Structure 1
Amino acid sequence: MAPREQWTSKLGFILAAAGSAIGLGAIWKFPYMVGTNGGSVFVLLFIISTIGIGLPILLAEFVIGRMGQSDAVTAFKRLAPGKKWPIIGWLGFAFGFIVLSFYSVVGGWILSYLVRALTFQLDVADFGALFASITANPLEILLAQAVFLLLTIWIVQGGIKAGIERASRWMMPLLFIFFIILAIRSLTLDGAMEGVRFLFVPDWSLLTGGTFLVALGQAFFSLSVGVTAMMTYASYLSKDEQLGQSALSVSILNIVISILAGLVIFPAVFALGLSPAEGPGLIFIILPAIFGQIPFGGFFMILFFILMLFATLTSSMSMLEIVVSTGIRAKYDRRKRAAWVFGALIFIIGIPSALSFGVLSEFTIFGDTIFDFADLLTSRIGMPIGALAISIFAGFVLTNKQTTDELNTHPLIHSVWKFLVKYAAPAAIIIIFVTWIFEILS
């Protein structure tokens, strides 16, 4: 039997974990959430929520993962034998399937735009019509989704060191470099400072309880907590690494990338007199239109969609790793075959989501398209439930001695983390969940 792998370094682990968190949540969802929820007030609440609530849950996943030294299902069996806690691992396995099934659809959209940018086919008048035509073309969208999944499978089947860590080591630095280049270009546009003010100068009249709840939800989504991805990654970490430092590094990187995304988008939006509250279409409809109106826009558009591809791949790798790790359990020599088999199954499961903007657009589940329902099922139901269960397990099932030994940090820091993960994080998750239920019922 092949031995269990480990990350070759702390940096490799941090880059991979940050890549899992820094995906569409930071680059696609964060900007339009900022634009529709009060600008800088939302940014401030997002930072507070990420450090105060998201970070403790992230650290809880790290603790459970490294203690278990295995996939999430086996980890819970080892830490709480004879109990029902392994169901959290199986939920992570199921939601990993679902997330990647629709996430790969968006990855396919990005590939379609990137190919068009590279072949100079994005010089169009109506990007809304282009987006609609791409998402409604079944052959193109399924082919693009398949190519995106093939890239993901190819990386994950290579293992932790030669696959995920190696890819993260070059994709994440390039992602930072591309972001900085794009942010500098955006900030040099005439009128860009209005976008900077929107991002950093608070309008306190927009501070509401609803804004805080949305910011808290975004913090959970952007850190990828609740689906055992971080738990799985931490299981490959050696006992010598400081978990607290790693969790803090991942959280800060997530905040920095999210703000950089804002610095790419909002100065350009305001410089060209567009509305920041464009919603989900900001990336695929508004941004290409912006690039089309600035000097060397074609070059910067190519950079942007390469950046989007890297960010989406680093997240999709972690989702497939959840599925593969749980599927093979301790039989590590089966990784390659499992990656291809599970990847093929995810593609099949994702076909309805891919077609939900075209031939299946009339088919709805509780009023949502198949794509939107899969997103809702994971981000609004799966992640909160998973995060709540992980918080309760780390806070009430693991003993103080177990968590103290694993964290190996100052007693005061341990006490603060334990309080947050036992009481503050579960309370915040329950509030978000109940508020969402009331929104539906009303």
Structure 2
Amino acid sequence: MSNRDQFASKIGFILAAAGSAIGLGAIWKFPYMAGTNGGSVFILLFIICTLIIGLPILVAEFMIGRRGQTDAVSSFKKQAPGTRWFLTGWAGFIFSAIILSFYSVVGGWILSYIVRAISFELSGSGEDYYGELFASITSNPWEVVIAQAVFLFLTVWIVQGGVKNGIEKASKWMMPLLFIFFIVLVIRSLTLDGAIEGIKFMFVPDWSYFTGKTLLMALGQAFFSLSVGVAAMLTYASYLSKETKIGSSAINVAGMNIGISLLAGLVIFPAVFALGYSPDQGPGLVFIIIPAVFQQIPFGSLFMIIFFILLLFATVTSAIAMLEIVVATAMGPKYDKRKQYSWLCGFGIFIVGIPSALSFGVLSEIKIFGLSIFDSADFLTNNIGMPIGALLVAIFAGYKISKADAAAELNTKDWIFKTWRILVRFVAPIAIIIVFIQSVFFR
């Protein structure tokens, strides 16, 4: 039996953890949430909530994972023997598998768009054309299932290589490229005539949107965009050496997540306003409005290719974190069996995800509590699984781990530790409960 893998460097861990956080939440969901909730006020509240609510829970997951030095289930068993806290690890395992099952469907859509963009088939004009294109892609059973399989194959191929030679190596080149691509697109977007209106939308507050609903939406986005609550960060932190500072690593990850979210807004909103579209287009913003926008600017086809490759990178880095939780838990201490477990888990998730892939076409008539199969999987994980998981992490870190052990693990200044402890014991749990009640019972 081989030794357990570890991240080779602090920057490798930060880029991998940031990659987990920076996925569709930052690039797909953040722009349309900001667009439908007033822009600047939502963005301001999102940043505040990320720092006050999301960051303390992220630190808690890092702490639990690094203390355990093993998979999520074993980590809770090790730190709370003889209790049922290990069920939190199993919940992370189950919800991560469900998330990846429908997340890989969206990854497949992105691959379909990349193939069409490279072959210059995205050459229509107007949102009606792209709306019809999106509907035709998502309702084609063969295309969505094959594309989903290809996306999962890519994800498994990276994860089966291990932490150092798979996840860390992939993150080290994908994340810098993601930033470079973003900067190129931001520059192009900001140089469009009329782009200033998009900048105003993002940074000049319209206080009429400062409502309880906007605050809850921002809190939910901050919370979900950091990938907390499903043991992703806990699992990654289990591969950390004891020399790595948890607090500074968490701040770097949260900062990169905020940065990418703002860059996504700077790519999308100036272009949307400059070309006369409305920012409140909802989930179709990336797949319908953005291609329509790119078609109206010089070299738009090239920038469209760059945008969807960027979106693929962000989606893959999140997907490998979800798969790693499942693989690490399934293989347990059998570290030499990583490749077999990676392909086995990947195949299982592919099978589970097929109904979600088909829920826009041949299975579109099937509804679960009024939602499609895809949407019900999304609702189950985002609105129920992640809040419960994060609440349990906050309670475990704040109450089950002793003050002395937590202080020794975090190894930071006394006032920073005390602030974190207040936030994770009182502020974060209350906020999570409010978001949970709002999203489940008042949606």
TM bucket normalised to smaller = over 0.9
Letter in 2 for 1:78: K
Secondary structure of the structure 1 residue equivalent to 2:43: helix
SS of 2:106's equivalent in the other structure is helix
SS in 2 for 1:365: coil
**Aligned AA for 1:210?**
K
Shift of 1:219: 0.7
Q: Is residue 279 of structure 1 aligned with residue 307 of structure 2?
A: no
2:442 paired with 1:439:
yes
What is the TM-score normalised by the length of structure 2? Answer: 0.99
Q: What is the CA–CA distance in structure 1 between the aligned matches of 2:389 and 2:217, rounded to whole Å? A: 18
Q: How does 1:84-103 map onto structure 2 within 5 Å? A: 84-103=84-103
- Supply the distance in 2 between the matched residues of 1:47 and 1:160 (Cα, whole angstroms): 30
Which residue is 1:190 aligned to?
193
Tell me which of 371, 376, 388 is aligned to 1:373: 376
1:399 to 395, 398, 402: 402
Are 2:141 and 2:358, in contact at CA under 8 Å, matched by a contact in 1?
yes
CA shift for structure 1 position 146: 0.4
- Counterpart CA distance in 1 for 2:12 and 2:204 is 35
Q: Which residue of 1 aligns with 2:70?
A: 70
Q: Aligned AA for 1:390?
A: V
Q: What do the CA deviations read for 1:185-236 (whole angstroms, capped 9, x no partner)? A: 0000000000000001101111001100110000111000000000000000
Report the counterpart of residue 263 of structure 1 in structure 2.
Answer: 266
Alignment of 1:344 with 2:359, yes or no, is no
In structure 2, stretches of 5+ residues that fail to align are: none
Report how far residue 388 of structure 1 moved. 0.3
1:366-412 deviations in Å (ceiling 9; x for gaps): 00000000000000000000000000000000001110110000111
Tell me how far apart the structure 2 counterparts of residues 297 and 46 of structure 1 sit (CA, whole Å): 31
Partner of 1:57: 57
Matching of residue 127 in structure 1 with residue 130 in structure 2: yes
Within 2, Cα distance between the matches of 1:357 and 1:434?
28
Q: Any residues of structure 2 matched to 1:295-310 within 5 Å, and which?
A: 295-310=298-313
Residue 354 of structure 1 is matched in structure 2 by 357
Give the distance between the partners of 1:109 and 1:436, measured in 2 at CA: 27
State the SS of the aligned residue for 1:123. coil
Give, in whole Å, the separation in 2 of the partners of 1:220 and 1:206.
20
RMSD: 0.6
C-alpha distance in structure 2 between counterparts of 1:191 and 1:153, whole Å: 43
Query: Following superposition of structure 1 onto structure 2, how do residues 1-40 of structure 1 map, counting pairs within 5 Å?
Result: 1-40=1-40
Deviation of 1:143 after TM superposition, in Å, equals 0.6
The whole-number CA distance in structure 2 between the counterparts of 1:110 and 1:206 is: 32
Opposite residue 416 of structure 1, the aligned amino acid is T
Give the whole-Å Cα distance in 1 for the aligned partners of 2:97 and 2:436.
Answer: 22
Decide whether the 8 Å contact of 2:182 with 2:263 is kept in 1: yes
Report the alpha carbon displacement of residue 160 of structure 1 after superposing the two structures with TM.
Answer: 0.2
2:383 maps to amino acid: R
Gaps of 5+ in 1: none
Deviation at 1:436, TM superposition (A): 2.4
What residue identity is the alignment partner of 1:175?
L
Q: Give the CA deviation at 1:433.
A: 1.2
Per-residue CA deviations over 1:30-65 (Å, capped at 9, x if unaligned) read 000000011100000000000000000000000000
Shift of 1:437: 3.5
Deviation of 1:124 (Å):
1.9
What's the CA shift for 1:157? 0.1
**Which amino acid in structure 1 is aligned with residue 241 of structure 2?**
S
